[in-house]
């Protein structure tokens, strides 16, 4: 991470880097897999089972090799989702740096998919854990330095991410306000 930061300030390595040719397709593949994995029972494992996140994690690691989900994070839907959601969100932010329109559209798709997946979870305690994992993934595991600098794209991406909390929790609830405060302090 610091090597990339140093490249940005010195104007060397970061200037010559280009977008991975598979980033866009990897994002949409991960989005589809995360939805099925989050809902569970669709033949793709279930968030929290301690093993089925590997397929998604491998996609994320192509673009962010330092993303890890060790034994201390597995075996809990909330913990696994936090890492996976943060990783995919970072991939979308990276896309937005290279192609602002594609990044904004991918973020809207990603946010809608997360909210829809959480709504389709049947078990109420698991639904709460999924909401917490999504919120923590966005608020704690997303790298804000990846948010595109272009104003219109930045506003579109940040507003899409900001909408997650009010859509997962009842608008005005304590959970929504707490998540919103954390989000605002980090992203704005």
The residue extents of the domains of the chain are: 22-187
Judge whether residue 12 has pLDDT over 60: no
Q: What is the pLDDT of residues 133-173, one digit of tens each?
A: 999 999 999 999 999 888 888 888 988 998 898 899 887 88
Residue 95: name the closest of 83, 81, 84, 109 by CA: 109
Work out the angle at residue 37's Cα, subtended by the Cα atoms of residues 141 and 124, and round it to the nearest 5 degrees. 85
- Give this prediction's pTM: 0.86
Q: Furthest-apart CA pair in the chain: how many Å?
A: 51
Note whether 38 and 80 are within 8 A (CB): no
């Amino acid at each position: 991470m610091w090597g990339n930061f140093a490249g940005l300030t010195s104007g060397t390595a970061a200037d010559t880097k280009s977008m991975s040719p598979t980033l866009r397709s990897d994002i949409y593949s991960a989005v589809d897999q995360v939805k099925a994995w989050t809902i569970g029972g669709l033949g793709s494992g279930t968030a929290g089972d301690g093993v089925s996140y590997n397929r998604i994690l491998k996609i994320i690691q192509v673009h962010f090799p330092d993303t890890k989900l060790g034994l201390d994070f597995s075996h809990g839907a909330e913990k696994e989702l936090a890492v996976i959601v943060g990783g995919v969100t970072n991939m979308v932010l990276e896309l937005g740096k290279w192609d602002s329109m594609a990044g904004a559209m991918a973020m809207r798709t990603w946010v809608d998919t997360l909210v829809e997946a959480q709504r389709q979870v049947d078990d109420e305690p698991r639904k709460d854990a999924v909401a917490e994992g999504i919120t923590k993934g966005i608020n704690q595991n997303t790298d804000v330095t990846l948010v595109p600098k272009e104003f219109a794209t930045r506003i579109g991406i940040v507003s899409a991410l900001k909408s997650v909390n009010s859509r997962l929790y009842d608008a005005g609830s304590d959970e929504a306000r707490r998540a919103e405060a954390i989000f605002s302090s980090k992203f704005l």
